[in-house]
Amino acid sequence: MSDPLLSPEQAQQLVLQDIPVLGVERVPLFDALGRVLAEGIAARHDNPPQDNSAMDGYALRHADIAGASAGQPVLLEVVEDIPAGYVPRKSVGPGQASRIMTGALVPEGADTVVRVEDTRAEGKKAAVLVPPAVGANIRRRGEDVRAGQEVVPAGSPVTPGALALLASLQRALVPVHRQPVVAILSTGDELVEVDEPLAPGKIVNSNTYGLAALCLANGALPLMLPIARDEEAQIRRAVESALSADFILSSGGVSVGDYDYVKKVLDDLGAQARLWRVAMKPGKPLFFCVLQGKPYFGLPGNPVSSLVSFLQFVRPALRKAAGHLPGTWFLPQVAARLEHDLFNDGDRRQYVRARLRLEEGRLLAAAPQGQGSHQLSSMLGTNGLLLLEAGMRLGAGDEVQAQVFGDL
Ligand code: AMP
Ligand code: MG
């Protein structure tokens, strides 16, 4: 009992050491959204594929119009209309221009495009009133990406923007890391399912839902297992059935209570224990082991503790497994100004659920009352965890470090 607790950072590092990066699969482009690219993607062709016009206007030879002005417009013969998507048939000679649309190929002979706003149509001729710089309004071949160049590096998250870029590179199939499948197991004789009657002494199993939702929100696929009673054989069967997943999360049963059988069962199954108990509040009783090659998190049973522990330890592990690059595994941390006093008279760091909001460009933090580890209402409308070190006493207006876990 007297072994010192690990710091949350030590525990995070220990956990991450045992997390494998999952393998690669090729998925249809749109299914790659939210996943992580497993191989760098090079361009097969230049983009833009050819020089094309950035404006609706006239393609022409700059030498012809260099001296044009509203008082002394230059008249040019219009030889062709070039819509986007077609190949010009005529080249532009001295004293000539082609009407050109945005995205249309620049015809041979032309070196500049004049915007239609800087011209006036005069019968079959065009009068140029304002000369742009030479080469203006032409998007050059390859100026976005060059053939052969690696455009999207391995480890890139496939965001909507990256997806559009991959589409422009004609990648119908995309190599991404597998999404971690996460088995979720809640233990406890007191638990009933959401749709079961609440007999005296019972509470609703909320952890399975909260943890599964966090998995989905973090790019993993939850596998929700039935409740296991506080009984060795049942917990053992449940754990064995969870081994089909890449990760196993259980909640409850890892404390020091008389019916906390989870660690015993894991021990019997040959698990290699890595850590137990972290200096944090909520969330002290955290057990982590490797069971037949699979990372296993024994999360605390208290509902808020299980969610906060997920964010600190499981989320980084899932991100590593899914191929996210180091440096992006942990929740982003920022400085915020407290809107009220906040004390931590205990001896462990507190993770205080708080509302972070931007006001005139400054980040403000306010923590709701009721921060008990059983008080799920503290998760409602909150998007941040304030890091309140042991002994810290802060006043309104003081700066506090905050981890961001929801939209600002
Ligand atoms: P334990 O770690 O099993 O001692 O559980 C600690 C506290 O969390 C107890 O008050 C449990 O009733 C509660 N608890 C355990 N599992 C769940 C669950 N799946 N959903 C909601 N509360 C739970
Ligand atoms: Mg229990």
Q: Is 372 in the pocket of ligand 1 (CB under 6 A)?
A: no
Is the pLDDT at 1 greater than 50, yes or no?
A: no
Task: Give the per-residue pLDDT at 206.
Answer: 98
Domain 8-23+178-328: give its CATH architecture. 3-Layer(aba) Sandwich (3.40)
Looking at the DSSP bridge assignments, the partners of residue 403 are 333, 385
Q: Report domain extents, the chain.
A: 8-23+178-328, 24-47+143-177, 52-139, 333-404
* Average pLDDT of every residue of the chain: 97
203 Cβ below 6 A of ligand 1: yes
Q: Which fold has domain 333-404?
A: Beta-clip (2.40.340)
Given a cut of 90, whether residue 200 has pLDDT beyond it is: yes
C-alpha 253 – ligand 2 centre gap (Å): 4
Neighbours of 399 (CB within 10 A): 12
How far does residue 313's CA lie from ligand 2's centre (Å)?
A: 21
Mutate which of 184, 186, 187, 203 to test ligand 1's pocket (most atoms within 8 Å of Cβ)? 203
CATH number of 24-47+143-177: 3.90.105.10
Ligand 1 close to Cβ of residue 252 (< 6 A): yes
Least confident range of 168-172, 205-209, 258-262: 258-262
Confidence (pTM): 0.94
Q: Does residue 300 have its Cβ closer than 6 Å to ligand 1?
A: yes
Ligand 1 pocket test, pick from 196, 287, 302, 377 with the greatest ligand atom count within 8 Å of Cβ, gives 302
Structural contact between residues 182 and 319, judged by C-beta atoms closer than 8 angstroms: no
CA-nearest residue for atom 20, ligand 1, is 205
385 CA distance to ligand 2 centroid (A)?
A: 26
Cα gap 54→140, rounded to integer Å: 10
Mean pLDDT of the 387-395 span: 98
CA of 224, nearest ligand number: 1
The pLDDT of 205-227, averaged and rounded, is 98
d(CA 248, CA 135): 61
CATH 2.60.120.330 fits domain 52-139: no
- Is 302 a pocket residue for ligand 1 (Cβ < 6 Å)? yes
Residue 318 burial by Cβ neighbours in a 10 Å radius (0-12, 13-18, 19+): buried
Q: What is the pLDDT of residue 3?
A: 67
Check if 375 has its Cβ closer than 6 Å to any atom of ligand 1: no
Cα of 207 to ligand 1 centre, how many Å? 8
Find, among 217, 209, 220, the residue nearest to 182 by Cα: 220
Is the minimum distance from the CB of 191 to ligand 1 under 6 angstroms?
Answer: yes
Please tell me if the CB atom of residue 227 comes closer than 6 angstroms to any atom of ligand 1.
no
- Point out the ligand 1 atom lying closest to the alpha carbon of residue 187: 16
Q: Is the CB of 253 under 6 A from ligand 1?
A: yes
What's the rounded mean pLDDT across residues 376-403?
Answer: 98
CA dihedral 74, 75, 80, 85 (to 10 degrees): 30
What is the model's pLDDT at position 332? Answer: 98
Which of the ligands is closest to the CA of residue 300? 1
**Percentage of residues in the chain having pLDDT higher than 90:** 97
pLDDT for position 2: 52
Question: Which tens digits make up the pLDDT trace of 328-370?
Answer: 999 999 999 999 999 999 999 999 999 999 999 999 999 999 9
DSSP assignment string, 106-127: PPTT--EEEEGGGEEEETTEEE
- Per-residue pLDDT tens for 114-126? 999 999 999 999 9
